[in-house]
Chain A
Amino acid sequence: MITYWPLLGIALVVVGFALRFNPLLVVAVAAIVTGLLGGMPFLKVLATLGHGFNENRFVTLPYIVLPVIGLLERYGLQQRARALISSIRGATTGRLLIVYLVFRQAVSALGLKDVAGHAQMVRPLLAPMALAAAEKQHGELDEDTDEQVKAMSAATDNVGLFFGEDIFLAIASILLIQASLASFGIALTPLQLSLWAIPSAICAFVIHGARLLLFDRRLGRRK
């Protein structure tokens, strides 16, 4: 007999986010409510939560780059990134981000997904460069445009990562697919799976690349 009560936890997450409560609070409350409704005693829920947190510490690990990035910013890295882009003729925000999209997809496909990222690449280098390219072409940016250029830089990093990493054989998601299907007696090699990540990677490049070119034109019309 399946009970539907634990699904209330999902509803709590959605409502909590919608009402803009602190997300950490929303997640913790949802976890505890779900566990209790699923018939677990409170201490068991607490232990499961604690165990999961401890086992996943590696997720929080990449913040160790912050001292380096902060130090380089102190000595003018963002200003340098802007100066470099301003000196390149023909550089536009869209073209710059397309080059980065290719780079991010290719490097992720080689299994090096932690090489770039929001803390170590987007904030110190990519976003300032994209802003500089936009300013060079269109002059001073208003606040909304500034925000959009930065958001597009972060979005490009995500798209490049998500639709590049699965081409690499030994990535966690490929191994998870293999293991899940194996439990149904379906044997696949990682290579078969990673090959079928390629068509989607190409679609991602075409779709997001086209959007970046349109983004350039929209920035141009703004003036």
Chain B
Amino acid sequence: MIGLHWLYVLAGAIFLAFAIGSARDATNPKRWGNAAFWSLLAVSFWFGDLLGDIGNGILVLALVALAGAHLLGRGAGNSTTLQEREGFSQRYGNRLFLPALIIPLTAFAGTLLFSYTPLKGAGWIDPKAVTLVLLGLGVILALATCDLWFRPPAAAPFEEGRRLMDSIGWAAVLPQMLASLGAVFAAAGVGTTIGALASAIIPSGSLFLAVALYALGMVAFTMIMGNAFAAFPVMAAAIGVPILIQQGGGDPAVIGAVGMLAGFCGTLMTPMAANFNIVPAALLELRNQYGVIKMQIATAIPLLIANILILYFAAFR
């Protein structure tokens, strides 16, 4: 059965290729920092399960040290020039979109195939990782197609990938770091403490105020933790279940579903949700690393108000 494990092997190989490319890139004054960073990530993907928890912890500290000491840089890159690209664009025409669509189409068709046909039971792909496995398959198919069609130099896919990877830099592992921060917060009892605080300041009597505090609590905690998943169990235990559902008689389906979505409004407004807010700013080469967040605030706040109203009127019909 193909599971996450094989994808980790693929990812490790790609990061190793980035590391080797970095080490050979004389145009990058900090090339050894880049090489070390991507090598450590390759080690994590290949041997993470063998390192043990403390070994992985040391690996994390090493990644942090490299990033914290500003040891990562960017090379000049040896991609094609803008004029060459215009030329290629004219020459290949709209067929250029086809390889780009191979990845989403493989994921799309494959997920449907492995979720709604007898293939689901065939046991080829780990059901917990179907879309990601198909994403990996799409990447391989697309790479093979490009290789046959464009006949690029052998190292080109990795050099071009590295060009993008270096523009993201250390931010690439921030989401994974935040997930481990969540694990430490949970182990240290931060959630319980916040829950106790929240239930201590909740006023009795006003249902609307309780609804608003539940939603705002989701937003605040989501913004701190970077995702609504960590916030939900805490706010449900502090306000959602005891005050809104048990005392107020609210519809649990609404309190649960819309409470989570109120938290998503917080995700739109926090740098801690790095993969959604910081990584794209790097990928799009924005000058302001908070540019995406700034753009999202004017959607997030009215949407939060809408969610509070849905909570209040739909849960207490």
Listed in ascending order, the chain A residues whose CB lies under 8 Å from chain B are 2-4, 6-7, 9-10, 13-14, 17, 21-25, 27-28, 30-32, 34-35, 37-40, 43-81, 83-84, 107, 111-116, 118-125, 127, 143, 147-148, 150-155, 157-159, 161-163, 166, 172-174, 176-178, 180-181, 184, 186, 188, 192-197, 199-200, 203-204, 207-208, 211
A148 to B56, CA, bound (A): 39
Answer whether residue B26 sits at the interface, using C-beta atoms and an 8 A cutoff.
Answer: no
Interface readout for B292-316 with A: 1 if CB under 8 Å, 0 if not?
A: 1011101100110011001000100
A33 to B96, CA, bound (A): 50
CB neighbours (8 Å) of A122 from chain B are 280, 283-284
A120 to B139, CA, bound (A): 10
Contact of A53 among B59, B241, B314 (CB under 8 A): B59
Answer whether residue B27 sits at the interface, using C-beta atoms and an 8 A cutoff.
Answer: no
Contact of A61 among B7, B159, B188, B278 (CB under 8 A): B7
Contact call B292/A151, Cβ cutoff below 8 A: yes
Answer whether residue B41 sits at the interface, using C-beta atoms and an 8 A cutoff.
Answer: yes
Task: Write the nearest CB–CB distance from A30 to chain B, whole angstroms.
Answer: 6
Please report which residues of chain B, range 116-161, place their CB below 8 angstroms from some CB of chain A when the two chains form the complex: 129, 131-132, 135-136, 139, 142-143, 146, 150, 152, 156-161
A154 to B114, CA, bound (A): 30
The 9 closest A-B pairs by CB, nearest first: A38-B188, A70-B160, A50-B56, A52-B180, A50-B57, A52-B183, A76-B89, A67-B161, A46-B57
Listed in ascending order, the chain B residues whose CB lies under 8 Å from chain A are 4, 7-8, 10-11, 14, 41, 44-45, 48-49, 51-61, 63-64, 67-68, 70, 79-80, 82, 84-90, 92-94, 96-97, 99-100, 103-104, 107-108, 111, 115, 129, 131-132, 135-136, 139, 142-143, 146, 150, 152, 156-165, 168, 170-185, 187-190, 192-194, 196-197, 224, 228-229, 232-233, 236-237, 241, 245, 252-254, 256-261, 264, 267-268, 271-272, 274-281, 283-284, 286-288, 291-292, 294-296, 298-299, 302-303, 306-307, 310, 314
Contact call B190/A7, Cβ cutoff below 8 A: yes
CB neighbours (8 Å) of B264 from chain A are 162-163, 166
Q: Across the two chains, which residue of chain A brings its CB closest to B289?
A: A20
CB neighbours (8 Å) of A51 from chain B are 53, 56-57, 180, 183
CB neighbours (8 Å) of A125 from chain B are 97, 100
A122 to B181, CA, bound (A): 28
CB neighbours (8 Å) of A58 from chain B are 4, 7, 129, 132
Contact call A166/B86, Cβ cutoff below 8 A: no
Residue among B67, B99, B176, B187 facing the most chain A CB atoms (10 A cut-off): B187
Contact of A120 among B61, B87, B104, B279 (CB under 8 A): B104
CB neighbours (8 Å) of A37 from chain B are 188
CB neighbours (8 Å) of A113 from chain B are 131
Contact call A193/B4, Cβ cutoff below 8 A: no
Task: Write the nearest CB–CB distance from A24 to chain B, whole angstroms.
Answer: 4
Contact call B299/A208, Cβ cutoff below 8 A: yes
Contact call B11/A80, Cβ cutoff below 8 A: no
Contact of A48 among B53, B197, B236 (CB under 8 A): B53
CB neighbours (8 Å) of B58 from chain A are 46, 50
A52 to B180, CA, bound (A): 4
Main secondary structure of the interface of A (DSSP, over half): helix
With contact pairs A71-B152, A120-B103 given, residues A53 and B177 touching in the complex (Cβ less than 8 Å): yes
Contact call B314/A27, Cβ cutoff below 8 A: no
Task: Write the nearest CB–CB distance from A61 to chain B, whole angstroms.
Answer: 6
Q: Across the two chains, which residue of chain B brings its CB closest to A148?
A: B295
With contact pairs A23-B278, A34-B188, A61-B11 given, residues A75 and B165 touching in the complex (Cβ less than 8 Å): no
Contact call A181/B256, Cβ cutoff below 8 A: yes
CB neighbours (8 Å) of A166 from chain B are 257, 260-261, 264
A32 to B264, CA, bound (A): 27
Contact call A176/B310, Cβ cutoff below 8 A: no
Contact call A27/B174, Cβ cutoff below 8 A: yes
Task: Write the nearest CB–CB distance from A85 to chain B, whole angstroms.
Answer: 12
Task: Write the nearest CB–CB distance from A178 to chain B, whole angstroms.
Answer: 8
CB neighbours (8 Å) of B161 from chain A are 66-71
Task: Write the nearest CB–CB distance from B138 to chain A, whole angstroms.
Answer: 8
Task: Write the nearest CB–CB distance from B217 to chain A, whole angstroms.
Answer: 14
CB neighbours (8 Å) of A57 from chain B are 4, 8, 11, 44-45, 48, 176
A118 to B310, CA, bound (A): 30
Contact call A50/B257, Cβ cutoff below 8 A: no
Contact call B173/A60, Cβ cutoff below 8 A: yes
